Amino acid sequence: MNKNLVVAICGATGAVGQEMLQVLEQRNFPYSKVIPLASSRSVGKKVTCKGEELSVVELTENSFEGVDLALFSAGGETSKKYAPIAAKSGCVVVDNSAAWRMDDECPLVVPEVNPEDLDWHKGIIANPNCSTIQLMVALKPIHDEARIKRVVVSTYQAVSGSGQKAIEELENQVRRLLSGQPVVADVYPHQIAFNCLPHIDVFMDNGYTKEEMKMVHETVKIMGDPTIKVTATCVRVPVFYGHSEAVNIETEEKLSADDVRSLLAKSPGIIIEDYPEKNAYPMPVNAAGDDATYVGRIREDETIENGINMWVVSDNIRKGAALNTVQIAETLIERDLVRVP
């Protein structure tokens, strides 16, 4: 079954689309054909998967005929327009934009955390926001063991989360500053080189950014528990790849730092890197290009009865986007769900 899947990649020329093709290849994803889709600007460009050179095809309303599975990473507007068209033509969509995440008809899935939510999909499945995914991987085992009441998280997010142009902007700004030239800021409202911007996505009326509120709302949906409270400060830092998070957790039951270490060490998708005596702790430059969510700096927070601090790092383009999307597709195959009900 499912051995001859036809897979479309929407947004195949973007940072995440490119990474999706790599992940399909690296994991030997069982497809018979991959169709790279993009806007008319990119038509004719070449991409590669499993050693095969593929020509990018224009994304249109007819792109999904005969396609079993479409992985979208082409921005919210494209997803809003084309995901329902794809689903209507019988193609299961896994969407990496924010367009469908909070839609009650769409499961929001981290395969290590809530694979069972795929069972009720109606054709469109949403991939959570990058900063939420790695947090969920690290929090789920703790929530299952000791029930999480409250999380205070501060993020240190890489520029690759804003796409290829932001990667170039950081590099260009650094080059200009080191040669004494004024910087040009285009993707971000301010200089990002050698700076920190406490501003990711747009500001909401409550003073939080949309990125911060995504962590609040997506956590509840993915965990399936409206009682988990999250408050977040999301900050862009001059790092190319890899989001880091300082996470403070209050649980119902007491867990020691050792309890958390043992618990997470045996949990899926996590690598513990917590050897202060060897100066070993998670860092974005090490996590970049890797699949795991790295957890370290695990220590008890003595300011509350049941508190834990930890430091969580993962590649925002892989686990935070492309890898999680492909893992959702793999789980759909495993559970025989690559069909629109």
Interface residues with a second copy (CB under 8 A) are 150, 152, 154, 156, 170-171, 174-175, 178, 189-191, 194-199, 203, 206-208, 229-231, 233, 235, 237-240, 244, 246, 248, 257, 276-277, 279, 281-285, 296-304, 307, 309, 311, 313
* Residue 247: CB minimum distance to a second copy, A: 9
Residue whose CB is less far from a second copy, 246 or 340: 246
Query: How big is the CA angle at 294 (ends 156 and 195), to the nearest 5 degrees?
Result: 15
Q: Does 15 count as an annotated binding residue?
A: yes
How do 243-251 and 307-314 pair as beta strands? antiparallel
**DSSP bridge partners of 236:** 157, 197
Q: Does 209 count as an annotated binding residue?
A: no
210 vs 31: CA distance, rounded Å: 36
Q: Which amino acid is at 267?
A: S
Residue whose CB is less far from a second copy, 147 or 339: 147
Number of Cβ within 10 Å of residue 122's Cβ equals 13
Residue whose CB is less far from a second copy, 102 or 333: 102
The catalytic position among 10, 49, 106, 130 is 130
- Angle, helix 257-265 to helix 130-146, in steps of 10 degrees: 110
78's enclosing H/E stretch is helix 76-88
**DSSP bridge partners of 249:** 151, 308
Q: Does 14 count as an annotated binding residue?
A: yes
**Residue 130 catalytic?**
yes
Q: Does 181 count as an annotated binding residue?
A: no
* Residue 294: CB minimum distance to a second copy, A: 11
* Residue 291: CB minimum distance to a second copy, A: 19
Q: Does 157 count as an annotated binding residue?
A: yes
Residue whose CB is less far from a second copy, 51 or 207: 207
**In Å, what is the CA distance from 90 to each residue of 29, 52, 65, 331?**
20, 26, 8, 18
Task: State the first-to-last Cα distance of the chain, in angstroms, to the nearest integer.
Answer: 17
- Angle, helix 130-146 to helix 210-223, in steps of 10 degrees: 40
* Residue 216: CB minimum distance to a second copy, A: 8
Which residue numbers belong to the known binding site for phosphate? 101
Residues of the binding site? 13-16, 41-42, 101, 157, 160-161, 236, 316
Q: Which residues are annotated as a binding site for NADP(+)?
A: 13-16, 41-42, 160-161, 316
Residues taking part in catalysis: 130, 243
